[in-house]
Amino acid sequence: MLRNKEYRRFTVIFLALAAVSVTLGFRMDRAAGILALCSSAAFGTAFFVFTNARYKNIMQISEQIDLVLHNADHLFVTESEEGELSILESEITKMMLRIREQNDALKKEKEHLADSLADIAHQLRTPLTSITLILSFLETNPDKEERKSLLRETEDLLVRMDWLLTSLLKLSRLDAGIVVFQKEPVELKQVFTAALRQLMIPLELHNISLQINVPKGILISGDVNWLSEAIQNILKNCMENAGDNGKIEITCEDNLLFTELTIHDSGTGFKKEELPCLFNRFYRGKNSSTAGYGIGLALCKTIITGQGGTITAKNHPQGGAMFIIRFPK
């Protein structure tokens, strides 16, 4: 306690005042001197005991804070009696718990970042290896037609890599909170028109019929560009599941509580064990093509939930996969 400058100053002043009062007391009367001496001793003892107890409590709090700073897993803060120190201890306990939560969140983010980097490296390594092999074939292959075919395959691989990097950049921007979604009335027809703009040719090439049963005039609140991005990723997944000569059906239900979109394809659907993992990043189902990266549905869910909606996936009773998107009113 004597290391505390204020405590040392108070001790010196108290001893000086006690000496003066005892001296004056003895000069006046012996009984008065004894009373002044006893009072000074009692007050000094009480003050020492009280201050020592407070210092012990403060020391315990200090030790707890030190444990937090060193990432201790188990913390215990003693409860003091009601008073200023108890209030301070309660606030410090809240602060320590908050710091622990932030530390846990940072650990999880660090682990997630490491896993994501490993997944990205793995996803990019496969097409890069293929491109390297194709280039070695190009160097030694004299056949003109085969060289053209190899060049087209290289171009496809580069396009897919570009899509992967673009999608990952979008996801990182969404995770970082850089993207601000526009909140404005959007007609669902407009969303589907924008989403289908780049898919009409692939639909025709694979002879996939598309049936849209969305009435005109249905409005939702959101960002049309990002919503069309999400719908487009779902439709790409449905096209992959439906395959050649398949079918995709889109229906809409609008009521006082929510607007619900259902997208159903004629494919084989999902396996039961795959359903909880469909929206995880880099997850690819066993029935998916090797060309997929497992990033489209993750991006889709991030976009939709970021605008207050929900998305689920399940198997249709009549067969095929079914995605259900719901926007509350």
Q: Tell me: pLDDT of 95 over 80.
A: no
> Which superfamily does 184-328 belong to?
Histidine kinase-like ATPase, C-terminal domain (3.30.565.10)
* Per-residue model confidence as pLDDT tens digits over 100-138: 788 788 888 777 767 667 767 766 777 788 888 888 888
Average pLDDT of the chain, as a whole number? 81
What pLDDT is recorded for position 322? 93
Interatomic CA distance for residues 85 and 127, integer angstroms: 63
Mean pLDDT of 7-11: 76
Percentage of the chain exceeding pLDDT 90: 16
Angle between helices 30-69 and 5-28 (to 10 degrees): 170
Q: How confident is the model at residue 171 (pLDDT cuts 50, 70, 90)?
A: confident
Whether 271 and 238 have beta carbons less than 8 Å apart is answered as: no
Interatomic CA distance for residues 120 and 117, integer angstroms: 5
What pLDDT is recorded for position 312? 94
Question: Which ranges in the chain belong to alpha helices (H)?
Answer: 5-28, 30-69, 84-140, 144-175, 188-196, 200-205, 224-242, 296-306
What pLDDT is recorded for position 325? 94
Tokens standing for residue 13: 């002043």
* Per-residue model confidence as pLDDT tens digits over 36-49: 888 888 888 888 88
Cβ-based neighbour number of residue 323 at 10 Å: 22
Tokens standing for residue 147: 């060289």
User: Cβ contacts of residue 59 below 8 Å, gap of 6+?
Assistant: none
Whether 100 and 121 have beta carbons less than 8 Å apart is answered as: no
Interatomic CA distance for residues 269 and 243, integer angstroms: 12
Q: Residue 32 phi/psi, 5° resolution?
A: -65, -35
Q: What is the domain partition of the chain in residue ranges?
A: 5-78, 116-175, 184-328
Q: Comparing 70 with 94, which gets the higher pLDDT?
A: 94
Tokens standing for residue 71: 């990432």
What DSSP character marks residue 141?
-
* Per-residue model confidence as pLDDT tens digits over 263-285: 999 988 888 888 888 888 777 66
**In DSSP terms, which residues pair with 253 in a beta bridge?**
260
Whether 157 and 130 have beta carbons less than 8 Å apart is answered as: yes
What pLDDT is recorded for position 78? 53
Q: Comparing 163 with 286, which gets the higher pLDDT?
A: 163
